[in-house]
Amino acid sequence: MKKVLLSIFVLVASVISLSAQTAEEVINKYVTAIGGADKWSKIQSLKVEGQIEVQGIAIPFTMQAVHMKGMRVDAEFQGSKIIDIVTPTKGWSQNPLMGKTSLEAITEDELKTKLDELDVQDEFVNYKEKGSTVEYLGKEEEEGTSYHKLKLVSKNGNEKVYFFDLTTGLIYKEESTVKQQGQEIKQAVKYLDYQTLENGIKMAFKSDMGMMMMVTKKVTINPTVDAAIFSGN
């Protein structure tokens, strides 16, 4: 009897450790697939140039960010300038298409959802040190293919669910929930066209948001970025 009980206990214990291990395994495989933690840790600033394609129209953009200090996106559409700025304490946005004709401070809700973007390294690189927690949610079907499903809660309290390709280990889809005025709004992005950069890291060059496709054309690693651009004044 003792023996049987023990084996049940071992089984339960192994089941628990299996699920814990799987989250680690999935993340390790992913981080290795995108170039490894060492290379990513060296990235302290980033510049990405590309365009947002929507209904056949291309809107060029530039994103500049300093790790955990500031991020700024500049885009232009038919002569209207669209700007998005995030810093650890405040954020601003200007979007004439949405009625914001000059830089205006964003609400606390909006800022909270954007704070994670200050991490120019991949958020799974040293995720524990960054204060994030993860949970393995098992395998789930997406468009007829099975993926590892994993939830990440960032230190800022943002929840995101990721779908990892079983063979490549890369992220195919991200589902996030943005909270505004107590209402949760769901968003989904599919990551396509992973390319390897000159320092050996890998990045998705296309982000498919359904109605919109963000296309990366050029990535500069560790450029010099003037902190003044993160001032919303």
Partner 1 sequence: MRVLLVALISGIGMLLHAQNVPSFNTAQFQVMGARALGPSTMSGRITAIEGAYADAQLNLYVGTAGGGIWKSQNGGQSFAPIFDKYNQSIGALALEPGSARVVYAGTGESNMRNSVSIGAGLYKTTDGGSNWQKLGLDSTEHISKIAIDPTDKKVVYVAAPGPLFKSSTHRGLYKSTDAGKTWEKILYINENTGCADIAVHPTNPKIVFASTWEFRRKAFSFVSGGSGSAFYKSVDGGKTWNKLTKGLPEGNLGRIVVTINPSKPSQVLALVEAKESALYQSNDEGETWTKLTSATGLTARPFYFSTLVVDPKDPKRVYRPAYDFNYSNDGGATFANTVIGGVAPHADHHALWINPSNTDMLFLGTDGGVYLSYNKGVTWQFLNNLPVPQFYHVSIDNQSPYNIYGGLQDNNNWMAPNTAPGGVAATDWKALGGGDGFWVQPDAIDEKIIYAESQGGDMYRINLRTGLSAGIKPKKQTGEDDHRWNWNTPIVTAKSNTKSATGKSQSNLYVGAQYLFRSRDNGRNWERISPDLTTNNKSIQNKAETSESVTGDNTSAENHCTIFTIVQHPNNENIIWVGTDDGNLMFTNNGGKTWTNKSNAFAKAGVPANAWISSIELSSHNANRIFVTLDHHMYGDNTTYALVSNDGGNSFTKFESEELTGFAHIIREDPKTPELLFLGTESGFFISLNAGKTWMRSKYQNLPWYSLVRDIKIHPSTNDLIIATHGRGIYIIDDIQPLREMVKSDLSKPFLFYPIQPFKYEYGAQYPQAASNLVGYAGASKSLAPTFYYYLKERSNDVVKIDIYNAANQKIKDLNGTGLKGLNKVFWTLTSNPPRVAKGGFVAQSSIQYAGFYGPKVPAGKYRIVVKAGKDSSEQILTVLPNPAAGLSEMALQKLHQQSMRVFLLQEQLADMVDTIDVKLAAWNKMPNSDEITQKIKAMDSFKRELLELNRKSIFFDETKFRKKISDFYLDLVTALEPLSEGQEKGINVLEAEMKGFKTRFKQLL
Q: Which listed range, 22-30, 114-122, 133-141, 220-228, lies at the site for partner 1 (CB under 8 A)?
A: 133-141
Pick the closer one to partner 1 by CB: 52 or 120.
52
Q: How far apart are the first and last CA of the chain?
A: 74
Regarding 5 and contact with partner 1 (CB under 8 A), the answer is: no
Mark residues 73-112: x for contact with partner 1 by CB under 8 A, - for none.
Answer: -----xxx---------------xx-x-x-----------
Quick check: 141 binds partner 1 (CB under 8 A)? Answer: yes
Q: Tell me the residue type at 185.
A: I
Distance CA 174, CA 188 (A): 6
- Single-letter code of the amino acid located at 72: R
- Return the beta strands (E) in the chain as ranges: 45-54, 57-66, 70-77, 80-86, 91-95, 100-105, 133-142, 145-153, 159-165, 171-180, 183-196, 202-208, 212-221
Rounded Cα–Cα distance for residues 112 and 52 (Å): 24
Query: Interface mask (CB under 8 A) for partner 1, residues 193-212, using x and -?
Result: x------------x------
Interface residues with partner 1 (CB under 8 A)?
53, 55-57, 78-80, 96-97, 99, 101, 137-138, 141, 143-145, 149, 151, 159, 161, 175, 177, 179, 181-184, 186, 192-193, 206, 213
